[in-house]
Chains A and B, each alone.
Chain A
Amino acid sequence: MSAKNAVLGLVIERPGYGYDLARRLEQRFGSSAFAPTGVYSALDQLSSEALVRSAGKQGEGGNERAAPRTIYEATPKGIDRFEQWMLGCSSLAPVRDELYMKIALSKPHNLGRLIELARVQEEDCLARLQELKRPFSRARGGPRAWPEVAVLLVRDAEIKQLQARVEWLQKARTIMDKLSAQASGTQGGDGVA
């Protein structure tokens, strides 16, 4: 997954220079979430698309030994693009962590959409489970060949991952539902049926 949207979200939260953004990215998403150089390539891409721009340099006229650092801020176009990304669907794979990032960078007014995205992703997990269905054709008590058992175990591992994902989605959705209801002062809920 590209760091582009994450960096854009961080710049919108607060302007910063490259190293500062890399540090904030690691604090927010962990050290293994993105490559160390991902922030700089993301800033290059965001600049070329006019989604961020220079807001001046840090260190100019100050410490002569330190190179001045470009401070980046979001452009109105960048803010619009980020809002579009926040509203967009989050596919389960290969960008399965995108929803985490959206939740981490979201504001209270995003809760309704995040609840919907969590529901859609839960449905995606169930649909994927349906795809993993395999016909049963064994008599009780008969011997099982290892390849058959191995397939069962691997399928179990795949499904258990889906189950863990769904369990988290359900808990996250429940909490977001409650917070959304509190915020609006009305009964929350996404009308799942």
Chain B
Amino acid sequence: MRLSLERVSKSYWRGPHETAVLKDISLSVYTGECVAVWGQRGSGKTTLLKVAAGLEAPESGAVNFNGQDLCGMSRVALVRLLREEIGWARRKGPESDELEMLDYVALPLLKRQTLRRARRRSAAALARVGVADCSKGRWADLTDGERTLVSIAHAMVRQPSLLVVDDPTANLDVLQREEVMGLLRSTAEQDWLAVLITVPDMPSMVHAHRIGSLSDGRLLVPSGATPERDNVVEFPKHGRAAQG
């Protein structure tokens, strides 16, 4: 699996002024690796993730996911791709305050699976990220670190090929941050996912396989950080550990 952005540009209009948020950005994320992009506030990190996940279309350039051009895809096909292949970890939590985390994480599965089976997979996902003890808890009762991990479980429960996480270390202390970032790295390696994250501070990047810096709409990748993937054998998706 490979996500690739080729010379992507994106602008927003603020009143009469056009602001270029992404300028000619190229980036690839491969299965089994975690790529972290750091940038200052307002540098365009979230926009980069939205474009990478197909939620927003770039004005120019191409976004390719597993050989499919996201920009030229029909809306129906794109929605299906977003539902089945791309997991976006949102830190907003459930709409209902009464929902237990076991059911919240199971929600994405309910359209196609029975409640019992969905809950079983939800429990496995919560255990995978290390918050099995939160399954009976409510969102309001969770710490910031637990909310981040539950959000990741919610995004991973459908076993996507690409996991996208915007700012997973917000409000976390050093030790919580280490756990979350270590989890994301191990998720990429052990669950055989491509993981793309943005972070607001550089210490959060140390566990990523590759890093980049977004500034003034441009992505700076340190030389020598481009992976040589030609020799990497990519296993099929079903090779990952089955859950449920």
Chain A residues within CB distance 8 Å of chain B: 119, 122-123, 126-127, 129-130, 132-134, 136-141, 144, 149, 152-153, 155-156, 159-160, 162-163, 166-167, 170, 173-174, 177, 189, 192-193
Q: Which residues of A contact B40 (CB under 8 A)?
A: 167, 170
Best-buried of B24, B25, B186, B222 by chain A (most CB within 10 Å) = B222
**A-B contact sample (15 more), CB < 8 A, given A129-B205, A133-B208, A162-B202:** A123-B220, A129-B202, A136-B178, A139-B130, A140-B183, A149-B174, A152-B175, A152-B178, A153-B174, A155-B206, A156-B174, A160-B202, A189-B23, A192-B218, A193-B218
Cα separation A110 to B58 with both chains bound (whole Å): 35
Count of A-B residue pairs with CB < 8 Å: 93
Give B216's nearest chain A residue, CB to CB: A174
Please state if A136 and B213 are interface contacts (CB–CB under 8 Å). Answer: no
Q: Which of A126, A137, A156 contacts B222 (CB 8 A)?
A: A126
Q: Please, how many residues of chain B have a CB less than 8 angstroms from a CB on the other chain?
A: 37
Closest CB-CB distance, A111 to chain B, in whole Å?
16
Q: Is there contact, CB below 8 Å, between B202 and A127?
A: no
B197 within 8 A of A: no
The binding surface of chain A is classed by DSSP as: helix
**Once the chains are docked, how many angstroms separate the CA of A144 from the CA of B25?**
40
Which of these, A126, A139, A160, A163, contacts B220 with CB under 8 Å?
A: A126
B179-223: CB near A (< 8 Å → 1, else 0) gives 101110110000000000000011101111001110110111111
Chain B residues within CB distance 8 Å of chain A: 23-26, 38, 40, 130-131, 174-175, 178-179, 181-183, 185-186, 201-203, 205-208, 211-213, 215-216, 218-225
A138 lies within 8 A of B182 (CB): yes
| Chain B nearest Cβ from A147, distance in angstroms | 14
- Bound-complex Cα distance A159 to B219 (A): 19
Chain A residues with CB under 8 Å of B183's CB are: 140
Whether the pair B218, A127 counts as a contact (CB closer than 8 A) is: no
The answer to whether A126 touches B213, judged by C-beta atoms less than 8 angstroms apart, is yes
- 8 closest A-B pairs by CB: A136-B182, A140-B130, A126-B222, A163-B202, A170-B215, A192-B218, A127-B222, A159-B203
Minimum CB distance partner of B129 in chain A: A140
In this complex, the member of A123, A137, A138, A141 whose beta carbon has the largest number of chain B beta carbons within 10 angstroms is A123
Cα–Cα distance between A95 and B156 once the two chains are bound (Å): 46
| Complex interface: chain B residues within 8 A of A129 (CB) | 202, 205-206, 211, 222
**CB nearest to B179 among chain A residues:** A140
- Nearest-neighbour CB distance to chain B for A139, whole angstroms, equals 8
Q: Tell me the smallest distance from the CB of A160 to a CB of chain B, in Å.
A: 7
Residue of B nearest to A164 (CB): B202
Pair B206/A159 contact, Cβ less than 8 Å: yes
Q: Is the CB of A166 within 8 A of B202?
A: yes
Q: In the docked arrangement, what's the CA distance between A111 and B14, Å?
A: 30
Residue in B24, B25, B130, B218 whose Cβ sees the most chain A Cβ within 10 Å: B218
Q: In the complex, are the beta carbons of B202 and A144 less than 8 A apart?
A: no
How far does the Cβ of B200 sit from chain A's closest Cβ, in whole Å?
10
**Chain A residue contacts of B201, Cβ below 8 A:** 160, 163
Q: What are the residues of chain A within 8 A of B181 when measuring CB–CB?
A: 136
Q: Is the CB of B220 within 8 A of A138?
A: no
A133 to B212 CA separation, bound complex (whole angstroms): 14
Known contacts: A129-B202, A136-B186, A166-B202. The answer to whether A193 contacts B216 by CB under 8 A is: no
Show 7 residue pairs from A and B whose CB-CB distance is below 8 angstroms, ordered by the A residue.
Answer: A129-B206, A133-B208, A149-B175, A160-B202, A160-B203, A163-B38, A192-B220
Q: Are A133 and B206 in contact (CB under 8 A)?
A: yes
Instruction: For the complex, give the distance between the alpha carbons of A21 and B100 in Å.
Output: 72
Beta-carbon contact of B25 and A166 below 8 Å: no
Check B222–A130 contact: CB distance below 8 A.
yes
